[in-house]
Amino acid sequence: MASSTSISQVQPDNRLLTALNIVPGILLLAGIGYAAKILERSVNAYAKAHHWTFPNIEYVLWAILIGLVISNLLAVPKIFHAGIATYEFWLKLGIVLLGARFVLADVLKLGGISLALVVIEITLSLALMTFLGKLFKLKPKLISLLAIGSAVCGVSAIIAAKGAIDADDEDSSFAIAAILALGALALFTFPAIAHSLHMNEVSYGLWAGLGVDNTAEATAAGALYSDAAGKVAVLAKTARNAMIGFVVLAYAIYWASRGQAETVSNKAAFLWKKFPKFILGFLLISLLVSFHTFSKGQVSSLGNLSKWAFLLTFAGVGLRTNFREMSQQGLRPFIVGALGEILIACLTLGLVIGANRIWGL
């Protein structure tokens, strides 16, 4: 999420080559996404025509499943790798465009509730992960990374924190693998639990946004329940992402005070650098829609563009999840992550049920 600079010789040919490199992977994402849409329609139509009792499997799940099968059972050729890595761009594009489906009043109301819950969630998650990490005698900086990843926003938060607290590559790859593996599990467990509890769409969306760590998985977990739940999950997750700078800054100051990281001289600049800028884009689009800049049909078009961007993201979530690679990352960080995530999921579920009683979500 942090902005990056690169030193490169300005060579238009190289840039063209880089741009061409991503085309095969993007086509693969689009192909999987479109296949998922076709499967959703045709399987449901076939089941209906033959009077089968068959669960309605949405395109979101099909896209993830096709991606998982390709990534885990077949080897993805190298030519697709660069394009598959763009899934995070499609995620952010989808979120910014999703702003069209929220008028500012909704953002303020739901965002306000989300922010209040996010502050509680972050405090509890940091305390819990630190306690579990110490209990299992993990390395101190690995504990920090796992705590930040589970409290704020998964992989992006870990990457943002890695430089700030001067953690080593091994610790960050352990933490990222644990967060990704648990995010993949959440995709299947969260909707199932919510269905068994008969949660309403807003409550579930809030829970997915608060309980699932990585933004792509939180978006997919929300969309797996319903379209409306997906919208709320993105909003809650965005509120959580907005806190990234504050949490990473606190950890950077802590490790600097122990002489194990660089001192942060300009805190405001640090916060701005770490702030996820796509949130501003989301708010801007929502503001434009609130002031009736777009007609009803145009708002619908923007919403559909957002869905297409998410479709590519969901294909990417499946494709980049490789269980064999994750299993090689070490058991103890995974156990700490899993225990922490289960407890955080229970805590956030309790928070959302409580919020539902208080505010009637």
Partner 1 sequence: MPTPQNPAPTTKAHSLSLDTWAVIVALVLALAVRFDVLKNVPW
Residues lying near partner 1 in the complex (CB under 8 A) = 1-10, 88-89, 92-93, 95-97, 100, 276-278, 280-281, 284-285, 288, 293-294, 297-298, 300-302, 304-305, 307-308
The residue behind tokens 């660089």 is: 262
Q: Minimum CB separation from partner 1 for residue 87, in Å?
A: 11
Kindly list the distances between the CA atom of residue 293 and the CA atoms of 94, 245, 298, 300, 326, in Å, as whole numbers in the listed order: 19, 32, 9, 13, 46
Residue 337 to residue 344: CA distance in whole angstroms = 10
- Is residue 341 within 8 Å of 129, Cβ to Cβ? no
Which CB, 55 or 297, lies closer to partner 1?
Answer: 297
Name the minimum Å distance from CB 52 to partner 1. 26
* Residue closer to partner 1, measured from CB, 123 or 304: 304
Minimum distance from CB of 171 to partner 1 (Å)?
Answer: 23
CB neighbour burial string for 51-86, b if at least 16 within 10 angstroms, e if fewer: eeeeeebbbbbbbbbbbbebbbeeebeeebebbbeb
Q: Which residue lies nearer to partner 1 by CB, 92 or 141?
A: 92
DSSP for 116-185, written as a single string: HHHHHHHHHHHHHHHHHHHHTT--HHHHHHHHHHHHTTHHHHHHHHHHHTT--HHHHHHHHHHHHHHHHH
The minimum distance between CB 149 and partner 1, in angstroms, equals: 18
Distance of alpha carbon 13 from the chain centroid: 34
**Residue whose CB is less far from partner 1, 186 or 285:** 285
Residue of 174, 94, 95 lying closest to 142 (CA atoms): 174
Q: Which is nearer to partner 1, 26 or 181 (CB)?
A: 26
| Residue 182: Cβ within 10 Å count | 26
Could you tell me the smallest distance in angstroms from the CB atom of residue 105 to partner 1?
20
Compute the distance between CA of residue 59 and CA of residue 307 in angstroms, rounded to an integer: 11
CB of 242 to partner 1, least distance (A): 12
Nearer to partner 1, 93 or 208 (CB): 93
Q: Which is nearer to partner 1, 7 or 75 (CB)?
A: 7
Amino acid at 238: T
In whole angstroms, the minimum distance from the beta carbon of 276 to partner 1 comes to 6
User: Given phi > 0 = left and psi -120 to 50 = alpha, else beta, which region is 318?
Assistant: alpha
Query: Which C-beta is closer to partner 1: that of 189 or that of 290?
Result: 290
Q: Based on CB atoms, which residue is closest to partner 1, 27 or 280?
A: 280
Q: Looking at residue 76, what DSSP letter applies?
A: P
- How many CB atoms are located within 10 Å of the residue 138 CB? 25
What minimum distance in Å lies between the beta carbon of 289 and partner 1?
9
Q: How far is the CB of 159 from partner 1 (least distance, A)?
A: 11
